């Protein structure tokens, strides 16, 4: 089985709060790297759901996987980041 080995570099994680259009809960832009250089940028749009557990589970899956794999993350989200356990550093 092939697995991606994260590069030994500091990852960046940015969160911006605002009103997402078209009933989206979050828009997540993931920047992937290869040998220290940007390899590709991926955008994931999470549709809003009435079920908060569904929203937070989808968010955690996308962001958690990307961070474990060594990507940078930029999130535009429709709720208070503290609601998802994200704190200001």
pLDDT at residue 2 greater than cutoff 60: no
For the chain, the domains span 13-80
Distance between CA 42 and CA 44 in Å, rounded?
Answer: 7
- 12 neighbors 27 (Cβ within 8 angstroms): no
**What mean pLDDT is predicted for residues 51-75?**
88
DSSP 82: G
Q: Is the pTM of this model over 0.85?
A: no
pLDDT value at position 5? 62
Residue found under tokens 């994931």: 44
Give the percent of the chain with pLDDT over 70.
89
Return the H-helix or E-strand segment holding 25. strand 24-34
**pLDDT, tens digit (0-9, with 9 covering 90-100), for 24-52:** 888 999 999 888 888 899 999 998 888 88
CA end-to-end span of the chain: 36
């Amino acid at each position: 089985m092939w697995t991606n080995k994260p590069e030994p570099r500091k990852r960046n994680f940015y969160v911006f709060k605002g009103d997402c259009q078209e009933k989206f809960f979050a828009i997540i832009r993931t920047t992937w790297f290869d040998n220290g250089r940007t390899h590709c940028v991926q955008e994931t749009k999470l549709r809003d759901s009435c079920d908060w557990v569904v929203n937070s589970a989808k968010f955690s899956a996308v962001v958690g996987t990307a961070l474990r794999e060594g990507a940078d993350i930029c999130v535009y989200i429709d709720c208070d980041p503290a609601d998802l356990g994200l704190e200001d550093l």
